[in-house]
Structure 1
Amino acid sequence: MSFYPVHKLAKLAGISVRTLHHYDRLGLLKPAVRTESRYRLYGDQELLLLQQILFYKELDFSLEEILQMVKDPNFDQLQALQNHRHAIETRRNRLTRLLETIDKTVSKLQGENAMLIDEELYAGFPKDKAEAYRNEAVEKYGSQVIEESEIKLRQLGKTNFDQLKAEQEEIAQTLAAMANQDPASVNVQEQVARHYANILAFWGKSVGGGNPLEAYKGLAQLYVDNLRFTSRNGQENPEFAAFLSKAMTYFVDARLNGKKSRNRDIK
Protein backbone atom coordinates (compact mmCIF):
# COMPACT_ATOMS: atom_id res chain seq x y z
CA MET A 1 0.00 0.00 0.00
CA SER A 2 1.20 3.47 -0.86
CA PHE A 3 1.12 6.23 1.72
CA TYR A 4 1.00 9.95 1.05
CA PRO A 5 2.25 12.62 3.45
CA VAL A 6 -0.13 15.49 4.01
CA HIS A 7 1.63 17.95 1.71
CA LYS A 8 1.71 15.45 -1.18
CA LEU A 9 -1.98 14.58 -0.79
CA ALA A 10 -2.87 18.26 -0.64
CA LYS A 11 -1.03 18.89 -3.91
CA LEU A 12 -2.60 15.81 -5.53
CA ALA A 13 -6.14 16.87 -4.56
CA GLY A 14 -5.65 20.57 -5.28
CA ILE A 15 -6.44 21.66 -1.72
CA SER A 16 -4.41 23.17 1.10
CA VAL A 17 -2.61 21.37 3.91
CA ARG A 18 -4.67 23.50 6.30
CA THR A 19 -7.87 22.02 4.81
CA LEU A 20 -6.63 18.47 5.45
CA HIS A 21 -5.75 19.41 9.04
CA HIS A 22 -9.28 20.83 9.41
CA TYR A 23 -10.85 17.61 8.09
CA ASP A 24 -8.75 15.66 10.59
CA ARG A 25 -9.93 17.79 13.51
CA LEU A 26 -13.56 17.34 12.43
CA GLY A 27 -13.10 13.58 12.23
CA LEU A 28 -14.07 13.77 8.57
CA LEU A 29 -10.79 12.44 7.17
CA LYS A 30 -8.34 10.85 9.55
CA PRO A 31 -4.87 9.82 8.34
CA ALA A 32 -4.27 6.08 8.08
CA VAL A 33 -1.05 6.36 10.07
CA ARG A 34 0.61 8.84 12.37
CA THR A 35 4.35 8.41 12.61
CA GLU A 36 6.29 8.70 15.84
CA SER A 37 7.09 12.23 14.73
CA ARG A 38 3.31 12.87 14.44
CA TYR A 39 3.39 13.14 10.64
CA ARG A 40 0.10 12.27 8.94
CA LEU A 41 0.15 9.56 6.26
CA TYR A 42 -2.83 8.76 4.04
CA GLY A 43 -3.50 5.49 2.23
CA ASP A 44 -5.71 4.37 -0.67
CA GLN A 45 -8.91 4.32 1.40
CA GLU A 46 -8.31 7.87 2.55
CA LEU A 47 -7.78 8.96 -1.05
CA LEU A 48 -11.15 7.49 -2.02
CA LEU A 49 -12.85 9.07 0.98
CA LEU A 50 -11.31 12.45 0.18
CA GLN A 51 -12.64 12.13 -3.35
CA GLN A 52 -16.14 11.58 -1.93
CA ILE A 53 -15.79 14.58 0.36
CA LEU A 54 -14.72 16.84 -2.49
CA PHE A 55 -17.56 15.56 -4.68
CA TYR A 56 -20.10 16.39 -1.97
CA LYS A 57 -18.54 19.84 -1.47
CA GLU A 58 -18.82 20.47 -5.20
CA LEU A 59 -22.53 19.70 -4.85
CA ASP A 60 -22.77 22.33 -2.07
CA PHE A 61 -23.21 20.00 0.91
CA SER A 62 -21.92 21.37 4.22
CA LEU A 63 -19.08 19.62 6.02
CA GLU A 64 -21.48 18.61 8.79
CA GLU A 65 -23.79 16.94 6.25
CA ILE A 66 -20.86 15.22 4.58
CA LEU A 67 -19.62 13.93 7.92
CA GLN A 68 -23.00 12.39 8.69
CA MET A 69 -23.13 10.69 5.28
CA VAL A 70 -19.62 9.21 5.18
CA LYS A 71 -19.80 8.04 8.80
CA ASP A 72 -23.11 6.29 8.19
CA PRO A 73 -22.49 2.51 8.60
CA ASN A 74 -24.59 1.93 5.47
CA PHE A 75 -22.47 4.33 3.39
CA ASP A 76 -21.69 2.64 0.04
CA GLN A 77 -18.79 4.19 -1.86
CA LEU A 78 -19.79 2.64 -5.19
CA GLN A 79 -23.38 3.84 -4.89
CA ALA A 80 -22.13 7.24 -3.80
CA LEU A 81 -19.96 7.51 -6.92
CA GLN A 82 -22.91 6.59 -9.15
CA ASN A 83 -25.03 9.20 -7.38
CA HIS A 84 -22.27 11.76 -7.85
CA ARG A 85 -22.10 10.99 -11.55
CA HIS A 86 -25.84 11.43 -11.99
CA ALA A 87 -25.84 14.69 -10.01
CA ILE A 88 -22.89 16.11 -11.97
CA GLU A 89 -24.47 15.14 -15.31
CA THR A 90 -27.68 16.88 -14.25
CA ARG A 91 -25.75 20.00 -13.29
CA ARG A 92 -23.72 19.86 -16.49
CA ASN A 93 -26.88 19.67 -18.61
CA ARG A 94 -28.40 22.58 -16.71
CA LEU A 95 -25.25 24.67 -17.12
CA THR A 96 -25.08 23.78 -20.82
CA ARG A 97 -28.64 25.03 -21.28
CA LEU A 98 -27.76 28.21 -19.40
CA LEU A 99 -24.69 28.76 -21.59
CA GLU A 100 -26.78 28.25 -24.74
CA THR A 101 -29.32 30.75 -23.45
CA ILE A 102 -26.59 33.28 -22.71
CA ASP A 103 -25.03 32.78 -26.16
CA LYS A 104 -28.39 33.30 -27.87
CA THR A 105 -29.06 36.43 -25.82
CA VAL A 106 -25.59 37.84 -26.57
CA SER A 107 -26.03 37.11 -30.29
CA LYS A 108 -29.45 38.76 -30.28
CA LEU A 109 -28.16 41.84 -28.49
CA GLN A 110 -25.12 42.11 -30.74
CA GLY A 111 -27.14 41.52 -33.86
CA GLU A 112 -29.89 43.99 -33.07
CA ASN A 113 -28.29 46.63 -30.92
CA ALA A 114 -24.51 46.57 -31.14
CA MET A 115 -23.23 48.99 -33.76
CA LEU A 116 -20.27 47.87 -35.82
CA ILE A 117 -16.96 49.62 -35.48
CA ASP A 118 -15.04 50.89 -38.54
CA GLU A 119 -12.65 47.91 -38.55
CA GLU A 120 -15.59 45.50 -38.83
CA LEU A 121 -16.97 47.32 -41.87
CA TYR A 122 -13.78 46.57 -43.79
CA ALA A 123 -12.88 43.24 -42.16
CA GLY A 124 -11.06 40.93 -44.54
CA PHE A 125 -9.26 43.75 -46.37
CA PRO A 126 -5.66 44.69 -45.53
CA LYS A 127 -5.72 48.09 -43.87
CA ASP A 128 -4.06 49.89 -46.79
CA LYS A 129 -6.49 48.37 -49.31
CA ALA A 130 -9.49 49.15 -47.14
CA GLU A 131 -8.40 52.78 -46.97
CA ALA A 132 -7.78 52.86 -50.74
CA TYR A 133 -11.23 51.43 -51.51
CA ARG A 134 -12.90 53.91 -49.20
CA ASN A 135 -10.97 56.85 -50.67
CA GLU A 136 -11.93 55.82 -54.20
CA ALA A 137 -15.58 55.52 -53.18
CA VAL A 138 -15.45 58.97 -51.56
CA GLU A 139 -13.89 60.43 -54.70
CA LYS A 140 -16.54 58.83 -56.93
CA TYR A 141 -19.69 59.27 -54.83
CA GLY A 142 -18.81 61.97 -52.29
CA SER A 143 -17.97 61.81 -48.60
CA GLN A 144 -21.55 62.46 -47.48
CA VAL A 145 -22.90 59.46 -49.37
CA ILE A 146 -20.15 57.17 -48.05
CA GLU A 147 -20.57 58.37 -44.46
CA GLU A 148 -24.34 57.87 -44.65
CA SER A 149 -23.76 54.39 -46.04
CA GLU A 150 -21.33 53.52 -43.24
CA ILE A 151 -23.74 54.75 -40.56
CA LYS A 152 -26.49 52.60 -42.07
CA LEU A 153 -24.22 49.55 -42.13
CA ARG A 154 -23.10 50.06 -38.53
CA GLN A 155 -26.72 50.11 -37.43
CA LEU A 156 -27.31 46.70 -39.04
CA GLY A 157 -25.32 45.02 -36.28
CA LYS A 158 -22.78 42.25 -36.75
CA THR A 159 -25.23 39.42 -37.43
CA ASN A 160 -27.14 41.20 -40.19
CA PHE A 161 -23.95 42.67 -41.64
CA ASP A 162 -22.33 39.22 -41.80
CA GLN A 163 -25.45 37.87 -43.51
CA LEU A 164 -25.27 40.69 -46.07
CA LYS A 165 -21.61 39.89 -46.80
CA ALA A 166 -22.35 36.16 -47.04
CA GLU A 167 -25.15 36.88 -49.52
CA GLN A 168 -22.76 39.05 -51.56
CA GLU A 169 -20.23 36.22 -51.75
CA GLU A 170 -22.89 33.67 -52.72
CA ILE A 171 -24.18 35.96 -55.52
CA ALA A 172 -20.64 36.52 -56.78
CA GLN A 173 -19.99 32.78 -56.92
CA THR A 174 -23.26 32.18 -58.77
CA LEU A 175 -22.51 34.89 -61.34
CA ALA A 176 -18.96 33.60 -61.80
CA ALA A 177 -20.41 30.17 -62.65
CA MET A 178 -22.64 31.84 -65.29
CA ALA A 179 -19.83 33.74 -67.02
CA ASN A 180 -20.21 31.68 -70.21
CA GLN A 181 -23.91 32.56 -70.55
CA ASP A 182 -25.59 35.46 -72.32
CA PRO A 183 -25.43 38.50 -69.97
CA ALA A 184 -28.99 39.40 -71.05
CA SER A 185 -30.45 35.94 -70.35
CA VAL A 186 -33.25 35.58 -67.81
CA ASN A 187 -31.16 33.46 -65.41
CA VAL A 188 -28.26 35.92 -65.42
CA GLN A 189 -30.54 38.92 -65.01
CA GLU A 190 -32.24 37.30 -62.01
CA GLN A 191 -28.87 37.10 -60.29
CA VAL A 192 -27.96 40.64 -61.35
CA ALA A 193 -31.21 41.84 -59.73
CA ARG A 194 -30.06 40.17 -56.51
CA HIS A 195 -26.63 41.75 -56.96
CA TYR A 196 -28.17 45.20 -57.39
CA ALA A 197 -30.33 44.80 -54.28
CA ASN A 198 -27.32 43.63 -52.28
CA ILE A 199 -25.14 46.50 -53.50
CA LEU A 200 -27.93 48.95 -52.70
CA ALA A 201 -28.09 47.55 -49.15
CA PHE A 202 -24.42 48.48 -48.76
CA TRP A 203 -24.68 51.87 -50.49
CA GLY A 204 -27.99 53.24 -49.40
CA LYS A 205 -30.47 54.89 -51.77
CA SER A 206 -28.83 58.32 -51.64
CA VAL A 207 -25.92 57.13 -53.79
CA GLY A 208 -25.70 58.77 -57.18
CA GLY A 209 -27.59 61.79 -55.97
CA GLY A 210 -30.65 59.66 -55.40
CA ASN A 211 -30.23 57.82 -58.69
CA PRO A 212 -28.88 54.41 -57.66
CA LEU A 213 -29.39 52.87 -61.12
CA GLU A 214 -26.98 55.35 -62.68
CA ALA A 215 -24.52 54.72 -59.84
CA TYR A 216 -24.86 50.97 -60.44
CA LYS A 217 -24.10 51.51 -64.13
CA GLY A 218 -21.03 53.48 -63.09
CA LEU A 219 -19.98 50.52 -60.96
CA ALA A 220 -20.30 48.30 -64.03
CA GLN A 221 -17.78 50.49 -65.83
CA LEU A 222 -15.52 50.54 -62.77
CA TYR A 223 -15.39 46.73 -62.82
CA VAL A 224 -13.88 46.88 -66.32
CA ASP A 225 -11.57 49.80 -65.58
CA ASN A 226 -10.25 48.37 -62.32
CA LEU A 227 -10.06 44.58 -62.33
CA ARG A 228 -9.17 44.29 -58.65
CA PHE A 229 -12.80 44.97 -57.74
CA THR A 230 -13.84 41.65 -59.34
CA SER A 231 -10.68 39.69 -58.47
CA ARG A 232 -11.10 36.49 -56.47
CA ASN A 233 -8.42 35.08 -54.20
CA GLY A 234 -6.08 37.74 -55.52
CA GLN A 235 -6.55 36.66 -59.15
CA GLU A 236 -7.88 39.17 -61.69
CA ASN A 237 -10.29 37.88 -64.31
CA PRO A 238 -10.87 40.27 -67.24
CA GLU A 239 -13.40 37.93 -68.90
CA PHE A 240 -15.58 37.78 -65.79
CA ALA A 241 -15.30 41.55 -65.27
CA ALA A 242 -16.45 42.16 -68.86
CA PHE A 243 -19.34 39.68 -68.49
CA LEU A 244 -20.51 41.20 -65.20
CA SER A 245 -20.24 44.75 -66.56
CA LYS A 246 -22.36 43.87 -69.60
CA ALA A 247 -24.96 42.10 -67.45
CA MET A 248 -25.19 45.07 -65.07
CA THR A 249 -25.40 47.60 -67.91
CA TYR A 250 -28.19 45.60 -69.57
CA PHE A 251 -30.02 45.45 -66.23
CA VAL A 252 -29.85 49.23 -65.78
CA ASP A 253 -30.80 50.05 -69.36
CA ALA A 254 -33.79 47.69 -69.20
CA ARG A 255 -34.94 49.32 -65.96
CA LEU A 256 -34.46 52.86 -67.26
CA ASN A 257 -36.21 52.10 -70.56
CA GLY A 258 -39.03 50.50 -68.63
CA LYS A 259 -39.41 53.67 -66.57
CA LYS A 260 -39.47 55.81 -69.71
CA SER A 261 -42.15 53.58 -71.24
CA ARG A 262 -44.25 53.81 -68.11
CA ASN A 263 -43.85 57.61 -68.05
CA ARG A 264 -45.02 57.86 -71.69
CA ASP A 265 -48.01 55.67 -70.85
CA ILE A 266 -48.90 57.97 -67.96
CA LYS A 267 -48.74 61.04 -70.24
Structure 2
Amino acid sequence: MKVKEVADLVGVSVRTLHHYDEIGLLTPGEITDTGYRLYSNDNLELLQQILFFRELDLPLKQIKEIVNDESFDREAALSMHRRLLLEKRDRLDRMIATIDKTLLYTRGEIAMTNKEKFEGFDFSRNPYEQEARERWGDRAVDESNARLAGMSKGQQQAMSDEMTALYTKLASLRHHAPASSEAQAGIKEWYDMLNRMGCYSLDAFKGLGQMYVDDERFTKNIDKFGEGLALFMRDAMAVYADHNRG
Protein backbone atom coordinates (compact mmCIF):
# COMPACT_ATOMS: atom_id res chain seq x y z
CA MET A 1 0.00 0.00 0.00
CA LYS A 2 1.15 3.55 -0.75
CA VAL A 3 1.55 6.04 2.07
CA LYS A 4 -1.67 7.90 1.23
CA GLU A 5 -3.61 4.63 1.23
CA VAL A 6 -2.20 3.71 4.65
CA ALA A 7 -2.97 7.17 6.01
CA ASP A 8 -6.58 6.94 4.82
CA LEU A 9 -6.97 3.40 6.17
CA VAL A 10 -5.57 4.17 9.61
CA GLY A 11 -6.72 7.75 10.07
CA VAL A 12 -3.30 9.31 10.58
CA SER A 13 -1.69 11.97 8.44
CA VAL A 14 0.81 11.31 5.67
CA ARG A 15 3.13 13.65 7.53
CA THR A 16 2.94 11.39 10.62
CA LEU A 17 3.93 8.34 8.57
CA HIS A 18 6.81 10.26 7.00
CA HIS A 19 7.96 11.26 10.49
CA TYR A 20 7.84 7.65 11.69
CA ASP A 21 10.03 6.72 8.72
CA GLU A 22 12.47 9.57 9.35
CA ILE A 23 13.07 8.54 12.98
CA GLY A 24 13.38 4.86 12.09
CA LEU A 25 10.22 3.80 13.90
CA LEU A 26 8.30 2.54 10.86
CA THR A 27 10.30 2.07 7.67
CA PRO A 28 8.30 1.10 4.56
CA GLY A 29 9.01 -2.39 3.24
CA GLU A 30 9.90 -0.94 -0.15
CA ILE A 31 10.64 2.38 -1.80
CA THR A 32 10.18 2.44 -5.57
CA ASP A 33 12.59 3.99 -8.05
CA THR A 34 10.24 6.96 -8.28
CA GLY A 35 10.34 7.44 -4.50
CA TYR A 36 6.96 5.99 -3.52
CA ARG A 37 6.84 4.39 -0.08
CA LEU A 38 5.17 0.96 -0.17
CA TYR A 39 3.97 -0.58 3.09
CA SER A 40 3.78 -4.35 3.61
CA ASN A 41 1.40 -6.31 5.86
CA ASP A 42 4.22 -6.57 8.40
CA ASN A 43 4.48 -2.77 8.33
CA LEU A 44 0.76 -2.48 9.03
CA GLU A 45 1.00 -4.88 11.98
CA LEU A 46 3.85 -2.81 13.41
CA LEU A 47 1.86 0.38 12.85
CA GLN A 48 -1.02 -1.15 14.80
CA GLN A 49 1.35 -1.80 17.71
CA ILE A 50 2.72 1.73 17.53
CA LEU A 51 -0.76 3.24 17.67
CA PHE A 52 -1.72 1.04 20.63
CA PHE A 53 1.35 2.34 22.47
CA ARG A 54 0.48 5.90 21.47
CA GLU A 55 -3.02 5.42 22.90
CA LEU A 56 -1.28 4.68 26.21
CA ASP A 57 0.68 7.97 25.92
CA LEU A 58 4.12 6.41 25.45
CA PRO A 59 6.64 8.70 23.70
CA LEU A 60 7.88 7.69 20.25
CA LYS A 61 11.43 7.23 21.50
CA GLN A 62 10.31 4.67 24.04
CA ILE A 63 8.03 2.91 21.53
CA LYS A 64 10.96 2.57 19.15
CA GLU A 65 13.10 1.00 21.88
CA ILE A 66 10.34 -1.46 22.74
CA VAL A 67 9.45 -2.67 19.24
CA ASN A 68 13.10 -2.88 18.15
CA ASP A 69 14.09 -4.99 21.15
CA GLU A 70 14.94 -8.56 20.15
CA SER A 71 12.83 -9.86 23.02
CA PHE A 72 9.72 -7.98 21.84
CA ASP A 73 6.74 -10.35 21.89
CA ARG A 74 3.81 -9.12 19.78
CA GLU A 75 1.25 -11.39 21.42
CA ALA A 76 2.39 -10.40 24.92
CA ALA A 77 2.25 -6.74 23.90
CA LEU A 78 -1.31 -7.15 22.62
CA SER A 79 -2.31 -8.75 25.91
CA MET A 80 -0.75 -5.84 27.78
CA HIS A 81 -2.53 -3.31 25.54
CA ARG A 82 -5.84 -5.04 26.21
CA ARG A 83 -5.32 -5.02 29.99
CA LEU A 84 -4.27 -1.36 30.12
CA LEU A 85 -7.07 -0.23 27.82
CA LEU A 86 -9.60 -2.08 29.98
CA GLU A 87 -8.21 -0.21 32.99
CA LYS A 88 -8.51 3.05 31.06
CA ARG A 89 -12.10 2.20 30.06
CA ASP A 90 -12.95 1.44 33.68
CA ARG A 91 -11.53 4.80 34.77
CA LEU A 92 -13.48 6.63 32.05
CA ASP A 93 -16.67 4.80 33.02
CA ARG A 94 -16.18 5.93 36.62
CA MET A 95 -15.58 9.53 35.49
CA ILE A 96 -18.74 9.43 33.34
CA ALA A 97 -20.66 8.14 36.36
CA THR A 98 -19.21 11.03 38.38
CA ILE A 99 -20.42 13.50 35.74
CA ASP A 100 -23.92 11.97 35.83
CA LYS A 101 -23.99 12.19 39.64
CA THR A 102 -22.69 15.76 39.57
CA LEU A 103 -25.45 16.78 37.15
CA LEU A 104 -28.04 15.38 39.56
CA TYR A 105 -26.26 17.08 42.47
CA THR A 106 -26.18 20.41 40.59
CA ARG A 107 -29.94 20.15 40.04
CA GLY A 108 -30.45 19.50 43.75
CA GLU A 109 -31.76 15.99 43.17
CA ILE A 110 -29.15 14.10 45.22
CA ALA A 111 -26.54 14.70 47.91
CA MET A 112 -22.89 14.17 47.01
CA THR A 113 -19.83 13.82 49.24
CA ASN A 114 -16.57 15.57 48.38
CA LYS A 115 -14.97 12.18 47.79
CA GLU A 116 -17.69 11.23 45.30
CA LYS A 117 -17.03 14.43 43.34
CA PHE A 118 -13.59 13.13 42.36
CA GLU A 119 -14.31 9.45 41.67
CA GLY A 120 -12.42 8.30 38.59
CA PHE A 121 -9.65 10.90 38.73
CA ASP A 122 -6.26 9.25 38.93
CA PHE A 123 -3.26 11.48 39.56
CA SER A 124 -0.97 8.55 40.29
CA ARG A 125 -0.21 8.43 36.56
CA ASN A 126 1.01 11.23 34.35
CA PRO A 127 -1.04 11.30 31.15
CA TYR A 128 1.39 13.78 29.63
CA GLU A 129 4.52 11.72 30.13
CA GLN A 130 5.83 12.56 26.66
CA GLU A 131 5.93 16.29 27.37
CA ALA A 132 7.67 15.72 30.69
CA ARG A 133 10.32 13.53 29.06
CA GLU A 134 10.91 15.99 26.23
CA ARG A 135 11.25 18.99 28.52
CA TRP A 136 13.30 17.59 31.39
CA GLY A 137 14.65 14.24 30.25
CA ASP A 138 13.87 10.77 31.47
CA ARG A 139 15.26 10.78 35.01
CA ALA A 140 12.37 12.32 36.95
CA VAL A 141 9.73 10.47 34.94
CA ASP A 142 11.48 7.10 35.13
CA GLU A 143 12.09 7.42 38.85
CA SER A 144 8.48 8.41 39.42
CA ASN A 145 7.18 5.49 37.35
CA ALA A 146 9.54 3.06 39.06
CA ARG A 147 8.43 4.16 42.51
CA LEU A 148 4.76 3.94 41.57
CA ALA A 149 5.28 0.52 40.00
CA GLY A 150 6.86 -0.66 43.24
CA MET A 151 3.79 0.30 45.26
CA SER A 152 0.91 -2.00 46.02
CA LYS A 153 -2.53 -1.05 44.71
CA GLY A 154 -3.39 0.11 48.21
CA GLN A 155 -0.31 2.34 48.36
CA GLN A 156 -1.05 3.75 44.90
CA GLN A 157 -4.61 4.55 45.95
CA ALA A 158 -3.32 6.19 49.12
CA MET A 159 -0.96 8.32 47.03
CA SER A 160 -3.80 9.26 44.68
CA ASP A 161 -5.99 10.22 47.64
CA GLU A 162 -3.15 12.28 49.13
CA MET A 163 -2.67 14.14 45.84
CA THR A 164 -6.39 14.82 45.59
CA ALA A 165 -6.41 16.16 49.15
CA LEU A 166 -3.44 18.40 48.41
CA TYR A 167 -5.02 19.75 45.22
CA THR A 168 -8.12 20.53 47.29
CA LYS A 169 -6.00 22.28 49.93
CA LEU A 170 -4.16 24.34 47.32
CA ALA A 171 -7.48 25.26 45.74
CA SER A 172 -8.57 26.69 49.10
CA LEU A 173 -5.41 28.84 49.12
CA ARG A 174 -5.61 30.09 45.53
CA HIS A 175 -6.96 33.51 46.52
CA HIS A 176 -3.88 34.18 48.67
CA ALA A 177 -0.85 35.92 47.18
CA PRO A 178 1.48 33.26 45.66
CA ALA A 179 4.33 34.56 47.83
CA SER A 180 2.31 34.48 51.06
CA SER A 181 3.44 32.17 53.82
CA GLU A 182 0.23 30.12 53.50
CA ALA A 183 0.66 29.63 49.77
CA GLN A 184 4.35 28.79 50.09
CA ALA A 185 3.71 26.26 52.84
CA GLY A 186 1.14 24.53 50.65
CA ILE A 187 3.33 24.57 47.55
CA LYS A 188 6.25 23.14 49.57
CA GLU A 189 4.02 20.15 50.33
CA TRP A 190 3.48 19.79 46.55
CA TYR A 191 7.22 19.97 45.87
CA ASP A 192 7.93 17.39 48.58
CA MET A 193 5.23 15.05 47.25
CA LEU A 194 6.57 15.21 43.69
CA ASN A 195 10.04 14.41 44.96
CA ARG A 196 8.75 11.40 46.83
CA MET A 197 7.67 10.06 43.45
CA GLY A 198 10.55 11.31 41.30
CA CYS A 199 13.49 13.70 41.34
CA TYR A 200 12.50 17.25 40.46
CA SER A 201 15.06 20.02 40.54
CA LEU A 202 13.90 23.52 41.35
CA ASP A 203 14.17 24.39 37.64
CA ALA A 204 12.07 21.36 36.68
CA PHE A 205 9.54 22.27 39.38
CA LYS A 206 9.26 25.81 38.04
CA GLY A 207 9.00 24.51 34.47
CA LEU A 208 6.29 22.08 35.46
CA GLY A 209 4.29 24.93 36.95
CA GLN A 210 4.58 26.83 33.67
CA MET A 211 3.29 23.76 31.82
CA TYR A 212 0.21 23.79 34.05
CA VAL A 213 -0.75 27.03 32.29
CA ASP A 214 0.76 26.51 28.83
CA ASP A 215 -0.88 23.12 28.29
CA GLU A 216 -4.67 23.47 28.36
CA ARG A 217 -5.05 19.79 29.24
CA PHE A 218 -3.19 20.35 32.50
CA THR A 219 -5.15 23.55 33.12
CA LYS A 220 -8.53 21.86 32.67
CA ASN A 221 -7.67 18.96 34.97
CA ILE A 222 -6.18 21.14 37.70
CA ASP A 223 -8.89 23.80 37.52
CA LYS A 224 -11.51 21.14 38.23
CA PHE A 225 -10.47 21.63 41.85
CA GLY A 226 -11.03 25.39 41.59
CA GLU A 227 -10.99 27.92 38.78
CA GLY A 228 -7.62 29.64 38.56
CA LEU A 229 -5.78 26.94 40.52
CA ALA A 230 -3.34 26.16 37.68
CA LEU A 231 -2.34 29.82 37.39
CA PHE A 232 -1.95 30.14 41.16
CA MET A 233 0.19 26.99 41.31
CA ARG A 234 2.41 28.23 38.49
CA ASP A 235 3.08 31.51 40.27
CA ALA A 236 3.55 29.91 43.67
CA MET A 237 5.89 27.25 42.24
CA ALA A 238 7.97 29.95 40.53
CA VAL A 239 8.26 31.91 43.80
CA TYR A 240 9.22 28.75 45.67
CA ALA A 241 11.89 27.78 43.12
CA ASP A 242 13.41 31.25 42.95
CA HIS A 243 13.38 31.69 46.74
CA ASN A 244 15.03 28.35 47.48
CA ARG A 245 17.92 28.48 45.03
CA GLY A 246 20.13 29.56 47.89
TM-score, normalised with respect to structure 2: 0.46
* Greater gyration radius: 1
Name the structure with the higher helix share. Answer: 1
